[in-house]
Amino acid sequence: MARQQPVTQIGNARVVRFDRNGAFVAAWGSRGSAPGQLAGPHGIAVDANRRVYVADRSNHRVQVFDENGKLLDLWPNLRQPNDILISADQHVWVADGTNAKVLEYDTTGRLLYSWGTYGTFPGQFWELHQLSVDAEGNLYGADSFGGRVQKFRPRTGADRSRLIGIATR
């Protein structure tokens, strides 16, 4: 008899805030699909105004909260937001795994730019899972299904406005 694989479900459905010493401050969210509820929060980032951006992966959206958990905005219709990076210029970069794309938004949720394509050749993503940028502006993309990390170096003379800036993490 064939052995059945267990269904994997992300158990967390909340955001927990701690202070710089690790002491609990607040928590918000519950399992569901209503505004403010979460289903598989997968990536989180905070901007310079202390807004908290949550990649609500299983609900196919990004939710934006204030630092105390009050819902400020909801960006629907993403396929699979896996990670969020806020660059120093306060642009919101989302790793969209299903679309194999990097999406750039302003802080109001307006899509500004996107790039990427599905595949397993160099420069393509099978399932983009996480983003990081080093001090030289190199972008690292973790491709979970592809089982690899790719490094993208800016070309000499590249339009710096199209590059993901250093994160504020």
Structure tokens given for 2? 């064939």
- pLDDT bracket for residue 7 (50, 70, 90): very low
Strands (E) across the chain are located at 15-18, 24-28, 41-46, 52-56, 61-65, 71-75, 81-86, 92-96, 101-105, 111-115, 128-133, 139-143, 148-152
> For residue 120, which of 108, 131, 128, 112 has the smallest C-alpha distance?
128
CATH fold label, 15-162? Neuraminidase (2.120.10)
136: which residues sit within 8 A by CB, 6+ positions away?
A: none
- pLDDT bracket for residue 127 (50, 70, 90): very high
Angstrom distance (rounded) from CA 125 to CA 97:
8
In the structure, how many helices (H) and strands (E) does the chain have?
Answer: 0, 13
Angstrom distance (rounded) from CA 65 to CA 71:
4
Phi and psi at residue 116, to the nearest 5°: 125, 160
pTM of the model: 0.88
Instruction: Please determine, for residue 167, whether its predicted confidence score (pLDDT) is greater than 80.
Output: no
Mean pLDDT along residues 56-81: 96
Instruction: Please determine, for residue 21, whether its predicted confidence score (pLDDT) is greater than 50.
Output: yes
Percent above pLDDT 90 for the chain: 77
Q: What SS3 state is found at 79? A: coil
